[in-house]
Amino acid sequence: MANFNNRLLQDETDNHEEYFEMMNSSLGNALTELYEPEHKVKGRDKELHQLDIQMARPLTPICLLLGLAGAGKTALVETWKKIQQEKGKKVVLLSLSLGAMSSDGVTMLQKRMEELMPKLKKYEDLLKKQDPRYEVVLFIDEVHMVVSIFGKGSKLGGDLLKTSLARSYVKVIAATTRAEYDAYIANDEPLARRFKNLSINEVSHSVTKEILYSWLETYSEQNKDIDETILDKIIKSNELYRPQFAEPAKSIDILESAVAISNVENRKIDLNIINRIFKEQFNVLLDFNANYKQVFSTVVKRVIGQPMALYTVDRAIKKFSFNLDTGSDRPKATMLFVGSSGVGKTEMAKAINEGIYGEVDNIQRYDMSEYSTADSEEHFRKKLGSDIRHNSSAIVLFDELEKAHKFIIQDLLSILDEGIVKYSEEGADGYPITHRISLRNTIIIGTSNAAAELFKDAHKYSRHRKTITQDNMNEFSEELKHEYSNMESDIYNALKKEKNFTPEFLGRFSNIIPFYALHESTLLEIAKNHIMKLIKLLNSQPEGYKVEIKKPVSWAWNHYDYVASDIAMYIVFELSNNQDSDFGGARAITRYIENTLYPDILEAILENPDKRRFLVSTNGKSSFENPDYNVGKGDIVVTPAS
């Protein structure tokens, strides 16, 4: 045993098997032999021929395979070995684990890297003594790790690799992705020159399908006659929603999960299983099929007094509900909501969310005023990409787009058109990693106040507004349609005046949806709903309060052609600014109810702890109650009752 240990330390033996064990032990057992695969890779004849040529170079048989993760670089190398064996050569293909080499610290790692190639050459020489047809080929997957393995900023790994490759001891095939090549190797020109690059592009749709059928024949006998539409669905869905990975690996990954479900649940693979995998593993809804009636009925309940917006959104909902654009690179819908503040733009987005996803808040909201500087561009892309990577079926809301920096708008041009956001982040070794995240399963909504002045004029001069009543506030009429047709080019031109809203940017939205200033009828309805919600909340308290307001009455006698409670009328016509185009909007109505009506009621309750019943009314001095009074005389009165 002592004799063996001495020989192990000195690597002195003429037995190639014994030498390999000693060599591998001294290298931290970092070498593993790759054997012939059961099947050859398909669709790679050109790449295999190029690799054969690279490996035939008399002085520098060094090849670097470049391609996306999953493109099949390792499978290509294994197939190349199989072909060499068929030609009568005896190829010993050794895969190097850099992690194992570094397991005993950096000092030992440096020593092992310096000794690696000479040891491999000696091993090849021993093999050739037995049979001249032998040749040793070293395969280094993720070769970029050599550069960073000694720590960020250290050139030692790259220098050692350059030295090792400068003399061709044995043939070398390395592999990495293009992004990692650019980050780690390309900037070191002497190192980059050592490699002869070979691009490994994604295989085609048809070749991927052949590979999947071949894979099933080997690993799932019961599913080998699978319907090709299922494989087409896998490949196409991966193309749309998993662009950061390459074929055929990403489709094999889905198929392997499908086979697992098939085996566990004793059923054949079908489209439902594929849909389920994408939903459970990647949060992608392939079977997205929003119920049009349900979505639109929810929208109508929540958004009132915007018939033009409802009409336009209705048409957009029909398009994405029927899911006809499954092959598009664009998101499922791209809509730009324009109009004054407080007219229902954000509420419309929330209503669409509720109609599709129920009570689940699936909105990813971005306040674009937070991205108003040039240096916020990178943060924006990273935030968007990271959010959608974890929730790829979100409704993406870009609020107040006009406040975003022009660099952000430029980013959105490609994001809206291609459905992809790209961003980089620092990896564990300090080098950048680039991500490509798909937004093709999202609904993108932008909001903007950019055309607010135009809508103020529309509010002032609209003939359609003169015909609006409490009964028809949501009805889309031919008159409104014609009025909007006349305004459409004006809206577009008003938006273009915004410095960042170029024609190219506006053209990226499939629908530009106008939100007019809210009519008094609408504001009264909003006020009524919020007042009743507050009363219901107060009356549900365990103390047993009973807060009451007066019943709605007609105010036509005083030229207010509305039926409403005095409190609703007071909120709209006394507290709100009725000189403004949108009367302060829905937000103002909510604010007055929360900051005026609610505190007045609470004050009466607290001042009368022995009372449980309270009557809420006005003081009778509002202008809508008496034409002799000016706005500002009215007030809220809360009276305890027995």
Last residue of a domain, one of 469, 497, 515: 515
pLDDT of the residue at 522: 84
pTM of the model: 0.70
> Do 318 and 465 reside in the same domain of the chain?
yes
> Do 504 and 525 reside in the same domain of the chain?
no
> Do 265 and 304 reside in the same domain of the chain?
no
Identify any residues that bridge with 633 across adjacent strands, giving them in sequence order.
none
How many angstroms separate the Cα of 149 from the Cα of each of 154, 191, 357?
A: 9, 15, 46
Specify the CATH number for the domain of residue 113: 3.40.50.300
Find the helix or strand (DSSP H, E) in which 335 lies. Answer: strand 333-339
Give the separation between CA 24 and CA 112, rounded to whole angstroms: 10
Would residue 75 count as lying in a domain? yes
Would residue 301 count as lying in a domain? yes
> Do 213 and 186 reside in the same domain of the chain?
no
Would residue 353 count as lying in a domain? yes
Q: Are strands 613-618 and 546-549 parallel, antiparallel or unpaired?
A: parallel
Domain count, the chain: 4
Residue with tokens 């919600």: 533
First to last CA, the chain: 105
Residue with tokens 């889905």: 254
Give the separation between CA 289 and CA 106, rounded to whole angstroms: 56
pLDDT of the residue at 476: 61
> Do 261 and 346 reside in the same domain of the chain?
no
Dihedral angle over CA of 239, 245, 246, 247, nearest 10? -60
> Do 511 and 626 reside in the same domain of the chain?
no
Contact 218, 38 (CB under 8 A): yes
> Do 452 and 343 reside in the same domain of the chain?
yes
Would residue 287 count as lying in a domain? no
> Do 610 and 479 reside in the same domain of the chain?
no
How many angstroms separate the Cα of 82 from the Cα of each of 75, 88, 366, 489?
A: 11, 10, 53, 66
Would residue 365 count as lying in a domain? yes
Contact 567, 631 (CB under 8 A): no
Last residue of a domain, one of 477, 497, 515: 515
Would residue 612 count as lying in a domain? yes
Q: Which residues contact 290 (CB under 8 A, 6 or more apart)?
A: 317, 320, 321, 355, 356
Nearest residue to 94 (alpha-carbon basis) of 70, 119, 120: 120
Burial class of residue 195, CB neighbours in 10 A (0-12, 13-18, 19+) = buried
Q: What would you measure as the largest C-alpha separation in the chain, in angstroms?
A: 118
pLDDT of the residue at 4: 40
pLDDT of the residue at 284: 83
Give the separation between CA 596 and CA 531, rounded to whole angstroms: 12
Give the separation between CA 157 and CA 429, rounded to whole angstroms: 13
Would residue 242 count as lying in a domain? yes
**CA-based Rg of the chain, rounded to a whole angstrom?**
35
Give the pLDDT confidence of 589-598 residue by residue, as tens digits. 888 999 999 9
> Do 503 and 564 reside in the same domain of the chain?
no
Q: Where are the alpha helices (DSSP H) in 185-248?
A: 189-194, 205-219, 228-241
Residue with tokens 């500002």: 632
Q: Which residues of the chain have pLDDT under 50?
A: 1-9, 461-464, 578-583
Identify the domain containing residue 599 by its residue range.
520-641
pLDDT of the residue at 407: 94
Dihedral angle over CA of 490, 495, 501, 507, nearest 10? -50
Would residue 68 count as lying in a domain? yes
Detail the DSSP E strand segments found in 130-282.
134-141, 171-176, 196-199
Structure tokens at 423: 């961003």
> Do 124 and 268 reside in the same domain of the chain?
no
Give the separation between CA 636 and CA 569, rounded to whole angstroms: 11
> Do 507 and 571 reside in the same domain of the chain?
no
Query: How many helices (H) and strands (E) would you count in the chain?
Result: 26, 18
Report the b/e string of 492-525 with b at 16+ CB within 10 A.
bebbeebebbbeebeebbbebbbbbbbbbbbbbb
Last residue of a domain, one of 232, 259, 282: 282
Give the separation between CA 470 and CA 525, rounded to whole angstroms: 8
> Do 459 and 537 reside in the same domain of the chain?
no
